[in-house]
Structure 1
Amino acid sequence: MTDIIQLLPDHVANQIAAGEVVQRPASVVKELLENAIDADASEIKLIIKDAGKTLVQVIDNGKGMSVTDARLSFERHATSKIKSAEDLFQLNTKGFRGEALASIAAIAHVELKTKRPDDELGTAITIEGSQVKSQEVSVTPTGTSVAVKHLFFNIPARRNFLKSDTVELRHITDEFHRVALAHPSIAFKFYHNGSEMFHLPNENYRQRVVHIFGGRTNEKLVPVEEETEVLKISGFVGKPEYSKKTRSEQFFFVNQRFIKSPYLNHAIGAAFEGLLKDGYHPSYFLNLTVDPKTIDINIHPTKTEIKFDDEHTLYAILRSAVKHSLGQFNIAPVLDFEHQSSLNTPYSYKDKRVNTPAIEVDRSFNPFVDDAKPSRRAQQHTSFKKASTASWESLYVGLESRGNNTKDDFSEVTFESDSKTESIFSNTSIETSKTTFQLQQKYIVSTLRSGMLIIDQNRAHQRVLYESFLKHITIKEATSQQLLFPLQLHFTPNESKIITDLKTDLEHTGFVFSDVTEEGITITGVPVGVPESEVSIILEQLISDVESDVPDANFSAADLLAKSMAKSLAIKNGQSLNNTEQEHLLNSLFACKEPNVSPTNRPTFITMTTDDIEKKFM
């Protein structure tokens, strides 16, 4: 038999490596930005076209590369960061595997231009699908420019897996935030399709957080500072009253590298215990500095997970530091009113005794006595005249003329309320009121000919609201109720962008917007039946749903909006319903097109036949 094991060609190996390194355009952005940072750049420019599918370009003013280094940078496992295995535990740089540029070049058209400060001319290299098309001398500024065009041009199957431009741009923005937050001393610019999205100057950490997440973020931040032999912590946590339904403002940086750590995230949650509402998450922007020898960052292809030597100690220090900051800055809701000097008590009143106010009371006044002589208070207010109570007998004038038979007289007098009172307590009403009843304030139980029907009230109401909202969005004829005072809500620029994208669909459900900016929105009308206090909860839930399940190009944003609003406004489990409400929900559910399942495809009701019940007694 012939040998069957063979070495893979370099271009195939590079494409396989690209599967780990490059999942989407955001992965290219991350690798190129980290290379620019490792080149000691002080200014970095990111240029994106069509959410990275057409172009991802990173321009820096770093130290550049020589002709030989520029050519070698596209070879697999070629790196300047490590020379031996021991160096893996003393890393202070981002890229160290030497696979990033080689993997990107295997699946895209790459143009590299680079020049060192001491060189008169730079180098320009063009590579397509791992094949070097040209290498020549070029006039270029000091630093490096890498342009990645037509990502996945030679792997159509991978390109088909990319989402819509909106989704891919959001992933790119997330990666940009992570890199920019980790390096506030570096100036960043971000352009998409020719428009500037971010312009971040060289600044301190608080300013960088505020520039990225909006001006109102400044009042939300609580500083956290702690330094021990094991760990140094610096950064900020958000005040509990500004907590969010999403985890979009949670950032851990270990030695200036963004990481995800559920274990350390739990430490933050423990520090906020008792301060957060159910379903809400704290915001934090924390930099952790540890000895590189105590961590292993080479355990995950994307390098977003790190293994610590002593996680338990880090957990305890982190929880204590955050708890200390929250206590030190006296975290509590604050009422901030404008101070008016007219409300101050003058110093001349300091030792002055307070005079008891004199109150005149006419103790002889009796409203049931018709006095001939008016009281002293009545004399002062001569316009007031007390109605005579002697005329009450005139109400029954006319009853006497009907005859002397009192029984017959009153048998002809009827009152409209009597018949209604009798019908409420009639036997038939008692029977109909028992057709449904509520079980543990969660389920509605009703009888069937063949047995019993049990409805989950929350899921059933979600289905009813979902179909109602979807209908309003489709036919664009929703009814709004105007607010007496406009409602102003503040969001981060990224969240405001989500609301802007869904603004048209929201208006079709009944919302009326008077102003939408990067700092927030102003609402003057809401859908009928939606309380004003629920508006912020609905929009926060909507933003959470969009960020966790972003609508794709072939996925309806209106559908997601209807689901999110139905989830926010549906009757919650634990809410008591009277018989009328139970029956109305029951009838509304079975009037739906798909009464069997909730908007999230979970059953809304179950049935139990008499046979099923009888089996329980066997």
Structure 2
Amino acid sequence: MDHAAIEPLPVPTRNKLRSTQILTSLSQIVSELLQNSLDAGARAVEVGVDCEEWTCWVRDDGSGMSKDGMNVIGGGLEAGRYGTSKAYDPDSLGELSTFGFRGEALASCADICCLEISSRTARSRESWSVIVKGSKPLYNGPAVRWRRESPGTTVCVRDAFYNLPVRRLSHPTPARTLEAIRHEIVAFALVFPQVSFTLENTHSVKDDKDMILRIPKTTSALTAFRHIYGRALVQHVDEIDETSGELRLEGFVSLDGAHSKAYQFLYINRHPISPCELHHVLESCFSASSFAKHGTSFEIDTFSCFSSAVRRSPRKAEKKPVYVLNLTVPPEELDNCLEPAKAVVHLRNKGGIVALLSSTIQAFLIRHGFSTANVARVTGRGSPSPRKRRKYDCADDSGYAEPEPDMSSRRMSDQVETSRHPSPIPLYTREVGIEALSAEETEELSWTDPNTGHIYVVDTRTGNSYRQSDPPPVALDGLKSARPQGRTLSRQQARGTEGLPASAMPEWIQEALESYGDSTAASSHRFEKADLRDAQVIDQVDRKFIACLINKSGESSALGRALILIDQHAADERVRVERFLKELCLGFLASVNSDDKFLRLRELAPPVPILLSRHEERLLRDLGTRRTFEHWGFRFVDMSPEVTPETEGGVDAGSISGYSQLFVGCIPDVVGDKLLLDDELRDFVKAFLAKLETDPAYQCIETDTAVHDDEEHRWLRALRWCPQQLLDLVNSKACRGAIMFNDSLTHAQCEKLVDSLGKTAFPFQCAHGRRVV
């Protein structure tokens, strides 16, 4: 068999392969043109986009391109590639100090688009223009359409990806493309505050321009941020300017957190970089402090290495830091030529950069009371995950160590805690060695319940207790116990061996244990929902559990019977959770599919006002975002909120307050009571907006939620779209209203609860992860 000879690919094929890797989307095209404008020293950049027509243009007032330079671009094929005004030599190829990617962006546009360039330099009296499509020159001469009266360049791209139909099919939607372009412009505006930017949607047929974004020239990154997002997120900031050798870190960090990471901007030499290890270093510093749970009042206890502030509810979303930081590194110390977007970097002195970042953020946290020197010294040794924090040992010279701060958190709100315990109740503890925990040694303490006044005797070894007025516990052999016994049976006691007569046990326990067989064999059995449906309820045990006899699935003999204890609180919580979620999710599915059976809503009269930032209000104006809220039962009655500027006019309008008041007219009735408590409604709207901003896929729901009436648990298909905040509210409501420990149940109530549990989709786990059986 003859093998084909190795031959070079044709030039057009090479160009197309290369160009499709450099420019992958319309937003990437705009980004490359924008960076060329910044390289040209522009002080005003205007961008126009028509996503539906695959067209965009970028106009600047930079230095412009000469006629000879335009001839290079319009040469077509290989002649136009690698033509650049940036100085490169073999020794500096890895030291990219400019934005342009080695003169390939414009040539790549000419391969996959119709490219028109019109430019004029300060020395030229006339604008010159070239038009190239598919690497073939179509025109080269005086400008006609984009004639310029001042130096600068206009680059227009039409019919993008005309020769790549698959790329068009897989391209993001126009709305998402516009948002990506907007984010790209904002990212550069924050590190180029001396440059003005505008973004216009040219697809609009209105007489007035559909101006999406207008950022004037400002004096600093902080002023630019306030103009874009308002002061809502940066009421209080700490401006950063730290130097370590040849490294410099400058920018600002806000003392006010946000619900989203969308306000975190990290640059290297004013190049935006993709999430990497440096972002993880910053996140680790903040997560190891109290910043995420910071409240309005925050004081440091002199005798503790942790704050004395009251912790927020564990259900509340943790606040994310807001920062804009630019790291200046010598060009020879980094490599950001790994991909065309230049957002991925390799660093030579990574250790020094990490040390500068972490020390600067730790100093910020200590300076503003979010951390202490002891915690900062410990956190510098590692990078713990926010969800799996290490237990830091903040020991002083005496060897005394404070407890880990998360140990003080509780699963109930501060309001409930205050009402139950109007004054602090001291907790007395004592150190106990391992050798003191033997069964022969024990100690009893008396404790008075401050609410009822009853006195209890507590076994310090087991934690068991009984009321002092009650008779001492009696062991199974009929003798009085020398100390309070636990409420569980040892394996030897359960089998009636070693002197314990089997007749001392209740008959139903003896029968259940005999049929249970060897415990090691039974522990390998996996219970199924069918087991609960046929369960025989015995009775309530200790007002905490429901004892049941079940026939293990697939086994009909007596040896297949098993005794189980069902946590009555967890069981009722599971039943309630699924009932509430079923109502929410079926209403959501009906709304998405335009069904008549909508979710039960609660009309708010008068509507409830909520205060959002300007940026959040802009997100909520989007039709797709509002529709997503409406699917879950949230309707807004006022979409024209007032914005009160602290100053008007002037290009340095960074002091705009950025707050907007909106009114909520309807909420889902199933969680209506929870939403109307404190700031729950506002927090939900802000958190869900942050989720929609960072994960636009949450709005792509119309094609994946078909309802089929023959499905037993069809509501489960909507859980993937349910906001986490709604799930938390449902879990909280189900928990607070469920049957509690020490609630007495009749035999009929126990049977009804077990029957309801067997009909749930997930009967063996409560909403908070505890096992039910």
Q: Structure 1 length as normaliser, TM-score?
A: 0.70
Structure 2 equivalent of residue 319 of structure 1: 358
- Of 599, 604, 610, which aligns to 1:488? 610
Structure 2 equivalent of residue 223 of structure 1: 239
Match of 2:214, SS? strand
Structure 1 regions of 5+ residues with no counterpart? 333-427, 440-444, 598-603, 609-618
Distance 1:570 1:22, change over 3 A: farther
- Of 696, 716, 724, which aligns to 1:550? 696
How far is the alpha carbon of 1:487 from its aligned partner? 3.3
Deviations along 1:327-347, one digit per CA (max 9) or x if unpaired, are 435569xxxxxxxxxxxxxxx
In 1, are the aligned partners of 2:335 and 2:346 still within 8 Å (CA)? yes
Q: Is 1:262 the equivalent of 2:276? A: yes
Distance 1:107 1:584, change over 3 A: farther
How far is the alpha carbon of 1:72 from its aligned partner? 1.9
How far is the alpha carbon of 1:468 from its aligned partner? 3.6
In 2, are the aligned partners of 1:231 and 1:290 still within 8 Å (CA)? yes
Structure 1 vs Structure 2 CA RMSD: 4.0
Structure 2 regions of 5+ residues with no counterpart? 75-79, 203-208, 294-316, 372-534, 555-563, 644-658, 706-717, 741-748, 764-768
Measure, in 2, the Cα distance between the counterparts of 1:253 and 1:438: 57
Structure 1 equivalent of residue 455 of structure 2: none
How far is the alpha carbon of 1:43 from its aligned partner? 0.8
Measure, in 2, the Cα distance between the counterparts of 1:497 and 1:582: 50
Given residue 212 of structure 2, which amino acid in structure 1 is its aligned partner? M
Structure 1 equivalent of residue 731 of structure 2: 571
Of stretches 91-100 and 141-150 in structure 1, the one that deviates more from structure 2 is 91-100
Q: Is 1:18 the equivalent of 2:19? A: yes
Q: Is 1:140 the equivalent of 2:148? A: yes
Q: Is 1:469 the equivalent of 2:616? A: no
Of stretches 123-132 and 553-562 in structure 1, the one that deviates more from structure 2 is 553-562
How far is the alpha carbon of 1:319 from its aligned partner? 1.6
How far is the alpha carbon of 1:506 from its aligned partner? 2.8
Measure, in 2, the Cα distance between the counterparts of 1:312 and 1:123: 49
Given residue 148 of structure 2, which amino acid in structure 1 is its aligned partner? T
Measure, in 1, the Cα distance between the counterparts of 2:599 and 2:698: 25
Measure, in 2, the Cα distance between the counterparts of 1:490 and 1:582: 49
Structure 2 equivalent of residue 503 of structure 1: 626
How far is the alpha carbon of 1:489 from its aligned partner? 2.6
- Of 514, 522, 536, which aligns to 2:662? 522
- Of 114, 126, 130, which aligns to 1:125? 130
Distance 1:562 1:55, change over 3 A: same
How far is the alpha carbon of 1:39 from its aligned partner? 0.8
Of stretches 39-48 and 308-317 in structure 1, the one that deviates more from structure 2 is 308-317
Match of 2:362, SS? helix
Of stretches 558-567 and 62-71 in structure 1, the one that deviates more from structure 2 is 558-567
How far is the alpha carbon of 1:509 from its aligned partner? 4.0
In 1, are the aligned partners of 2:265 and 2:325 still within 8 Å (CA)? yes
Written as runs of structure 1 = structure 2, the 5 A alignment for 1:157-172 is 157-172=166-181
Written as runs of structure 1 = structure 2, the 5 A alignment for 1:172-571 is 172-193=181-202, 194-204=209-219, 205-239=221-255, 241-244=256-259, 246-272=260-286, 273-274=288-289, 275-277=291-293, 279-329=318-368, 431=538, 450=553, 457=574, 465-471=584-590, 474=594, 475=596, 476=598, 478-482=600-604, 486-493=608-615, 496-498=618-620, 500-501=622-623, 502-507=625-630, 509-516=632-639, 517=641, 519-525=659-665, 526-528=667-669, 529-530=671-672, 531=674, 532=676, 533-551=679-697, 555-556=701-702, 563-564=722-723, 566-571=726-731
Alignment: residue pair count: 495
Match of 2:98, SS? coil
Of stretches 288-297 and 70-79 in structure 1, the one that deviates more from structure 2 is 70-79
Distance 1:321 1:147, change over 3 A: same
Larger Rg: 1
How far is the alpha carbon of 1:126 from its aligned partner? 1.1
Distance 1:438 1:233, change over 3 A: farther
In 2, are the aligned partners of 1:495 and 1:543 still within 8 Å (CA)? no
In 2, are the aligned partners of 1:542 and 1:561 still within 8 Å (CA)? no
Structure 2 equivalent of residue 410 of structure 1: none
In 2, are the aligned partners of 1:163 and 1:552 still within 8 Å (CA)? no
Measure, in 2, the Cα distance between the counterparts of 1:207 and 1:186: 13
Distance 1:63 1:124, change over 3 A: same
Distance 1:130 1:220, change over 3 A: farther
Structure 2 equivalent of residue 385 of structure 1: none
How far is the alpha carbon of 1:521 from its aligned partner? 4.3
Distance 1:588 1:331, change over 3 A: same
Q: Is 1:5 the equivalent of 2:21? A: no
Measure, in 2, the Cα distance between the counterparts of 1:93 and 1:552: 37
Match of 1:219, SS? coil
How far is the alpha carbon of 1:575 from its aligned partner? 5.3
Match of 2:292, SS? coil
Aligned residues with identical type, % of pairs: 22
In 2, are the aligned partners of 1:35 and 1:94 still within 8 Å (CA)? yes
How far is the alpha carbon of 1:287 from its aligned partner? 1.1
Deviations along 1:181-226, one digit per CA (max 9) or x if unpaired, are 1211111111113311222121122111111222423304332221
Written as runs of structure 1 = structure 2, the 5 A alignment for 1:75-94 is 75-94=80-99
How far is the alpha carbon of 1:324 from its aligned partner? 1.9
Measure, in 1, the Cα distance between the counterparts of 2:194 and 2:264: 21
In 2, are the aligned partners of 1:48 and 1:56 still within 8 Å (CA)? yes
Structure 2 equivalent of residue 401 of structure 1: none
Distance 1:50 1:4, change over 3 A: same
In 2, are the aligned partners of 1:538 and 1:568 still within 8 Å (CA)? no
How far is the alpha carbon of 1:503 from its aligned partner? 2.3
In 2, are the aligned partners of 1:220 and 1:242 still within 8 Å (CA)? no
Distance 1:163 1:261, change over 3 A: closer
Distance 1:45 1:127, change over 3 A: same
Given residue 681 of structure 2, which amino acid in structure 1 is its aligned partner? V
How far is the alpha carbon of 1:496 from its aligned partner? 3.3
How far is the alpha carbon of 1:561 from its aligned partner? 9.6
Measure, in 2, the Cα distance between the counterparts of 1:553 and 1:163: 13
Given residue 546 of structure 1, which amino acid in structure 2 is its aligned partner? L
Q: Structure 2 length as normaliser, TM-score?
A: 0.57
Measure, in 2, the Cα distance between the counterparts of 1:538 and 1:10: 56
Structure 1 equivalent of residue 434 of structure 2: none
How far is the alpha carbon of 1:248 from its aligned partner? 0.8
Given residue 160 of structure 2, which amino acid in structure 1 is its aligned partner? L
Of stretches 299-308 and 248-257 in structure 1, the one that deviates more from structure 2 is 299-308
How far is the alpha carbon of 1:583 from its aligned partner? 7.2
Structure 1 equivalent of residue 161 of structure 2: 152
How far is the alpha carbon of 1:295 from its aligned partner? 1.0
Measure, in 2, the Cα distance between the counterparts of 1:437 and 1:229: 65
In 2, are the aligned partners of 1:463 and 1:566 still within 8 Å (CA)? no
In 1, are the aligned partners of 2:692 and 2:698 still within 8 Å (CA)? no
Distance 1:438 1:321, change over 3 A: farther
